[in-house]
Amino acid sequence: MIIRLGQTIDDSSLQFLKYVASLDTDHESFYVYKSGTTFILLHLLNENQMKIVGLMEVTKTEDSEKVLKNFKSQIPCRKIFQVNMVELLKSYRGKGLAKKFYQRIVNKEKICLMSDDVLYDGSRKVWNSLIKSSSAKTIIIDILKNKIIDSDYFGKEK
């Protein structure tokens, strides 16, 4: 199955995906599914159709394995994946949906997520929002220096 942002799928396509969780907002229903290392955020349009409104690609990397090894006592999970790509349709941005998408994946899959070394404005806002959230456990690590950085550092240009 080819997965494209903005694509509308019907119930029969769900058989090729692994259900992860539901994600409800005030007025709409969303579902998180998984295909390999890609998480898919689906918006329920009607009882038979859903629209792919978000995608997140994660991988285990040398950096994620290094973080797990070097900071085992400070990390609340045993699996860490690096977020390589996150994309949300423009009409769904700025509503807190990306933050909920991250949180639902972490909570349901029992994994930790770490960013890659490039943060664009949108992803920086999501990570900052996660840091400020009381429900998110965040640890900011400088991998090159192999040390934990204070949260206040995150989001500031240096």
In DSSP notation, 85-139 reads EEEE-GGGTTSSHHHHHHHHHHHHHT-EEEE-S---HHHHHHHHHHHH-TT----
Q: Does the pLDDT of residue 83 top 90, yes or no?
A: yes
Is residue 25 situated within a structural domain? yes
Over range 40-59, report the average pLDDT: 95
77: in domain: yes
CATH number at residue 90: 3.40.630.30
Residue 136 pLDDT: 66
Specify the higher pLDDT residue, 29 or 24.
29
Whether residue 101 lies inside any domain: the answer is: yes
- Asked whether residue 2 is assigned to any structural domain, the reply reads no
Quickly count: other Cβ atoms within 10 Å of residue 104's Cβ.
Answer: 19
Percent of the chain topping pLDDT 90: 46
Residue 104 has pLDDT above 70, yes or no: yes
pLDDT confidence tier of residue 141, bands split at 50, 70 and 90: confident
Residue range of the domain that includes 127: 8-153
Query: Total domain count for the chain?
Result: 1
DSSP 24-69: E-SS-EEEEEEETTEEEEEEEEETTEEEEEEEEEEE--HHHHHHHH
Residues of the chain with pLDDT > 70, as a percent, come to 92
